[in-house]
């Protein structure tokens, strides 16, 4: 079965995406195709909230990493998912990504499971602030950040030398002076309950789940795949590398997400019979 056939056979399916779908937009993934960690150490929730030094380091790196996220554009895979939603084939996109690219592409039924780097919230009073405004404050506190070219890392992160990071003032809330945190779930943090409830309800109704560009190593994504499988729904993956759900996938297409989704949408629009791809079944 090809991705186009799978989509055609399961109208109303849910799609779960990960870092791989944004790789073609220039944002690095955490893991390579064999599931090996690429080396960047992401911020842990407890480390961020308990230490001002850690927040200083986080914001210094984020000031550089954010430029790449803010400048990234949705690619053909994001756009194809919008087309598949319009065609009534995709009922909901659930993304583990924090880059905001599905929203920028125009996906209407979307759950950003781990939040979005585009928003910043006060941990004390809950006031929100735009990431752009925070960026201005960071660069004002440490002008050396403005022209710095640093190696981009996943998740809006970048490598920044400690002596530069030391010059950064971690932004605090204008209203109450509380700690500002990007509206993302860091490693070790909890996904808000209402997001989990909405996704679980959608999975109950959906005929299938399609994973796109995720190793599913992170538990909050893996458990959705496990829930769909336990409910007797086919779970398929369009992912170049191995996934944590490989043992129960009905199909695993090791294809590039943008090529495969754009091709499938074109095929469905043309109403042509899908071709059986030789590498299609549990490669």
List of residues contacting ligand NAD (CB under 6 A): 18-20, 22-24, 27, 29-31, 33, 96-99, 114, 154-155, 213-218, 221, 239-241, 256-257
**199: three-class secondary structure by DSSP:** helix
Pairing mode, if any, of strands 235-238 and 209-212? parallel
Give 55 or 102: the residue with its C-beta nearer to ligand NAD.
102
Per-residue burial over 31-62, b if 16 or more Cβ lie within 10 Å, else e, is beeeeeeeebeebeeebbeeeeebbbbbbbbb
- Minimal distance, residue 88 CB to ligand NAD, in Å: 24
Give 173 or 260: the residue with its C-beta nearer to ligand NAD.
260
d(CA 35, CA 33): 5
Give 56 or 252: the residue with its C-beta nearer to ligand NAD.
252
Residue with the closest Cβ to ligand NAD? 20
| φ, ψ of residue 211 in degrees (nearest 5) | -95, 135
Cβ(128)–Cβ(102) under 8 Å? Answer: no
Give 59 or 173: the residue with its C-beta nearer to ligand NAD.
59
- Minimal distance, residue 125 CB to ligand NAD, in Å: 26
- Minimal distance, residue 243 CB to ligand NAD, in Å: 6
Give 72 or 142: the residue with its C-beta nearer to ligand NAD.
72
- Minimal distance, residue 271 CB to ligand NAD, in Å: 26
- Minimal distance, residue 233 CB to ligand NAD, in Å: 20
Does 114 qualify as catalytic in the annotation? Answer: yes
Calculated CA dihedral for residues 265, 155, 197, 103, nearest 10 degrees? -40
Give 168 or 257: the residue with its C-beta nearer to ligand NAD.
257
Spot the catalytic one: 78, 102, 114, 251.
Answer: 114
Strand runs labelled E in the chain: 13-17, 90-95, 110-112, 115-122, 128-130, 152-153, 157-158, 180-184, 209-212, 235-238, 251-253
Sign of the CA dihedral with 67 first, then 83, 224, and 2 last: negative
Cβ(29)–Cβ(20) under 8 Å? Answer: yes
In sequence order, which residues have a C-beta less than 8 Å from that of residue 167 and are 6 or more positions away?
141, 142, 144
Cβ(109)–Cβ(92) under 8 Å? Answer: yes
Pairing mode, if any, of strands 13-17 and 128-130? unpaired
Catalytic site positions: 114
């Amino acid at each position: 079965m090809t991705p186009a056939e799978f989509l055609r056979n399961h109208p109303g399916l849910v799609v779960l995406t990960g870092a791989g779908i944004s790789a073609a937009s220039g944002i690095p993934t955490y893991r390579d195709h064999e599931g090996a960690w690429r080396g960047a150490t992401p911020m842990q929730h407890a480390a961020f909230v308990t230490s001002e030094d850690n927040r200083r380091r986080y914001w210094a790196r984020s000031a550089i990493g954010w430029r790449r996220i803010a400048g990234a554009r949705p690619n053909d895979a994001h756009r194809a998912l919008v087309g598949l939603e319009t065609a009534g084939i995709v009922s909901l996109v659930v993304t583990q990504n924090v880059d905001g690219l599905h929203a920028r592409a125009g996906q209407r039924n979307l759950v950003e499971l781990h939040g979005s780097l585009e928003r910043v919230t006060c941990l004390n009073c809950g006031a929100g602030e735009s990431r752009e405004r925070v960026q201005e404050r960071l660069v004002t506190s440490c002008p050396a950040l403005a022209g710095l070219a640093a190696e981009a890392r996943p998740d809006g992160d970048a490598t920044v030398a400690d002596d530069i990071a030391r010059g950064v003032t971690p932004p605090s809330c204008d209203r109450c002076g509380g700690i500002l945190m990007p509206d993302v779930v860091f490693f070790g943090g909890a996904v808000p309950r209402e997001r989990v409830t909405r996704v679980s309800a959608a999975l109950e109704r959906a005929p299938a789940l399609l994973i796109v560009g995720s190793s599913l190593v992170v538990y909050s994504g893996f458990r959705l795949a496990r829930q769909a499988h336990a409910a007797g729904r086919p779970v398929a993956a369009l992912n170049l590398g191995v996934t944590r759900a490989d043992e129960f996938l009905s199909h695993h297409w090791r294809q590039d997400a943008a090529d495969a989704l754009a091709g499938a949408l074109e095929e469905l629009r043309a109403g042509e019979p899908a071709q059986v791809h030789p590498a299609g079944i549990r490669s």
